[in-house]
């Protein structure tokens, strides 16, 4: 079936594990798809005769529940035109570089002449090999594949985003019997390799798609350039007519194409996580003989919705988890958790650190969200309910006149809207992180220490010596008033900082801020912020030092 109908670049990739299959009666072929909730995403064009691919999709959609959103990507211009005539909404979402190898290597100058660094690598002994695992002794082939798999792992770990799924999943050795492998070796060590998938037309080999181009993160510049050009040269010498580098998303959108402004803007300016322009520049620098447009077809209108569905299917762990992971890596090592934190958390909780969906995120941060809602609601209601306004006035923590309202209720009230929003933005950010990483029990413990223990501890500390050595300061301290949840914020920040590899990145600005508050307000009681910063750190240190339960199976 692949040899007969696999004339699309990603035909072999659609046969990877992880897809479902639909084979309609009366049609010699099938399609592969991925489904979740009310969305079905068809992986490329069906493996079927070209004139029956649209019919295959029609029958597949007829079987779906009412309201199901079906998208098909990527597809060529022939199928895109047919689907548009059948009522689909179609947008060009990228282009693909194609190299006609006879034409590519017939130019007066060698393609490698445009890459001086790559030429220098070749002169210094770098060589590109056509690996035939079947012709190798079994032990040698296994050892070589193990070395290449280690290279894949190192390459994946160097990326800032989570591994992609759908047709972008990195599985160079899946269906390896169909593929060709090219490796760049320097002094006996493999620094990069290509896994190339075949493209057929009516049973005849048409070309190869360089589905995976894997490079060691520490490899020198020019490695990929030399590897790609020499791999194409080897294919050309073997009589292969064509090479492809795969889709460059959002690239070369045609004039007057639907959604062109949005797609081109994303292509030129999006820099977070996926570098569309950088990927295009890499492929375009090899000067392909032509670029072919690729399309997305959708059963429902709305380009933004279709793009969201397409992005979702490429992140199997969820867009929320991908965004959280990317946000952390965008700040570099400053937000990296200590290895012992990750190990202990895995043992105790047995769940992924990052939520996979918005619903999971809201559920796992429900305690933080509830407290923020209470703080905001109380502040809002006291503007209109006189009894609450009176309670607010009695609820300040005053060291010289401590009462139960000041001790227990003072942290729930805030002086003004600016005070409220400043505290709550910080509280939500730090609280959500602690709740996700350490769970609700430790979140409540750290928050309670900040809300209710910080003022009495600070007051008691000063009572030991301040009235004797500085009575004037002591008398002014007794008259101070304190409201708000900022002590809980500092406790949560201290706890989170101790989870990080580089804790001073977070501790230092909060420590300086705590000291500045003391001088700006001329308040000795404000040193409670620094005390609670230490309390949060103490809780995490004790948590890390405890002998935990056995790992969950």
| Span 13-40, pLDDT tens digits | 999 999 999 999 999 999 999 998 789 9
pLDDT, tens digit (0-9, with 9 covering 90-100), for 42-74: 999 999 999 999 999 999 999 998 889 999 999
CA dihedral 277, 279, 280, 281 (to 10 degrees): 80
Q: pLDDT tens digits for 95-110?
A: 999 999 999 999 889 9
Closest C-alpha to 224, from 275, 182, 171, 189: 182
Strand 204-215 and strand 242-244: the pairing is parallel
Three-state SS at 149:
helix
Q: pLDDT grade, residue 164 (50/70/90)?
A: confident
Domain residue limits, the chain: 2-92+252-265+291-313, 98-249, 319-545
116 has a pLDDT exceeding 80? yes
Confidence of residue 179 (pLDDT cuts 50, 70, 90): very high
How is domain 2-92+252-265+291-313 classified at the CATH fold level? Aminopeptidase (3.40.630)
Looking at every residue in the chain, the average pLDDT score rounds to 89
Comparing 31-45, 266-280, 350-364, 448-462, the range with the smallest average pLDDT is: 350-364
Query: Can 98-249 and 319-545 be said to share one CATH topology?
Result: no
Residue with tokens 């005390």: 531
Find residue 129's DSSP bridge partners.
183
The SS3 assignment for 14 reads helix
Fold classified for 98-249: Aminopeptidase (3.40.630)
Yes or no: domain 319-545 corresponds to CATH 1.20.1540.10? yes
The average pLDDT across 445-463 equals 92
Which residue, among 306, 293, 238, has the nearest Cα to 39 in the 3D structure? Answer: 306
Q: For tokens 């010596």, what's the residue?
A: 465
Token look-up 């090479």 returns 243
Which residues, including other chains, have CB under 8 Å from residue 38's CB and lie 6 or more apart?
Answer: 65, 67, 68, 69
Q: Which is nearest to 7 in space by CA: 185, 144, 188, 205?
A: 205
Compute the average pLDDT of residues 72-79.
96
Q: What is the pLDDT of residue 551?
A: 43
Spatial distance between the Cα atoms of 177 and 179, rounded to a whole number of angstroms: 6
Q: Cis check for the bond before 74: say yes or no (omega within 30 of 0).
A: yes
pTM: predicted TM-score of the whole model, two decimal places: 0.69
CA nearest 254: which of 95, 144, 394?
95
pLDDT in tens, 247-297: 999 999 999 999 999 999 999 988 777 789 999 999 999 999 999 999 999
pLDDT above 60 (res 125): yes
Beta carbons within 8 Å of 472's beta carbon, 6+ residues apart: none
CA–CA separation, 306 and 316 (whole Å): 17
CA distance 246 to 180: 16
Q: What is the pLDDT of residue 327?
A: 58
């Amino acid at each position: 079936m692949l040899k007969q109908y696999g004339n699309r670049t990603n035909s072999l990739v659609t046969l990877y594990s992880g897809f479902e299959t639909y084979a309609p009666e009366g049609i010699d072929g099938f399609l592969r798809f991925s489904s979740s909730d009310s969305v079905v995403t068809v992986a490329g064009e069906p493996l079927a005769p070209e004139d029956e691919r649209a019919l295959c999709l029609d029958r597949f959609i007829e079987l779906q529940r009412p309201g199901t959103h079906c998208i098909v990507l990527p597809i060529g211009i022939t199928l895109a035109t047919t689907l548009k005539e059948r009522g689909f909404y179609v947008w060009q979402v990228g282009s693909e570089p194609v190299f006609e190898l006879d034409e590519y290597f017939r130019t007066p100058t060698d393609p490698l002449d445009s890459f001086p660094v790559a030429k220098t690598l070749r002169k210094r002994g770098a060589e590109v090999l056509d690996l035939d695992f079947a012709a190798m002794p079994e032990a040698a082939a296994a050892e070589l594949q193990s070395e290449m798999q280690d290279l894949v792992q190192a390459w994946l770990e160097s990326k800032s985003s989570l591994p992609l799924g759908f047709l972008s999943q990195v599985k160079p050795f899946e269906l390896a019997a169909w593929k060709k492998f090219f490796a760049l070796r320097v002094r006996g060590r493999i620094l990069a390799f290509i896994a190339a998938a075949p493209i057929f037309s009516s049973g005849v080999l048409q070309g190869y798609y360089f589905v995976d181009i894997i490079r060691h993160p520490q490899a020198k510049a020019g490695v990929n350039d030399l590897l790609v050009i020499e791999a194409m040269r080897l294919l050309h010498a073997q009589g292969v007519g064509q090479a492809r580098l795969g889709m460059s998303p959002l690239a070369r959108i045609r004039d007057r194409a639907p959604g062109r402004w949005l797609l081109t803007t994303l292509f030129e300016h999006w820099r977070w996580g996926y570098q569309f322009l950088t990927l295009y520049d890499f492929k375009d620098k090899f000067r392909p003989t032509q670029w072919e447009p690729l399309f997305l077809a959708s059963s429902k209108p709305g380009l933004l919705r279709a793009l969201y569905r397409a992005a979702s299917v490429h992140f199997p762990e969820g867009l929320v988890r991908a965004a959280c992971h990317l946000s952390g890596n965008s700040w570099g090592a400053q937000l990296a958790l200590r290895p012992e934190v990750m190990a202990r958390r895995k043992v105790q909780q047995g769940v992924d650190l990052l939520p996979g969906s918005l619903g999971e995120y809201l559920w796992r941060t429900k305690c933080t969200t509830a407290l923020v809602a209470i703080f905001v609601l109380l502040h809002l209601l006291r503007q209109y309910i006189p009894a609450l306004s009176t309670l607010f006035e009695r609820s300040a923590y005053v060291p010289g006149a401590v009462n139960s309202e000041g001790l227990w209720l003072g942290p729930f009230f805030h002086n003004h809207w600016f005070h409220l929003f400043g505290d709550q933005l910080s509280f939500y950010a730090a609280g959500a992180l602690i709740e996700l990483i350490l769970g609700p029990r430790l979140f409540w413990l750290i928050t309670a220490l900040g809300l209710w223990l910080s003022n009495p501890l600070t007051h008691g500390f000063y009572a030991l010596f301040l009235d004797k050595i500085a009575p004037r300061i002591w008398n002014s301290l007794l008259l101070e008033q304190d409201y708000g949840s900022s002590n809980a914020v500092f406790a949560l920040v201290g706890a989170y900082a101790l989870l990080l590899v580089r804790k001073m990145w977070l501790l230092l600005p909060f420590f300086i801020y705590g000291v500045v508050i003391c001088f700006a307000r001329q308040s000795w009681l404000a040193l409670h912020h620094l005390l609670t910063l230490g309390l949060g750190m103490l809780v995490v240190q004790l948590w890390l030092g405890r002998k935990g339960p056995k790992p969950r199976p």
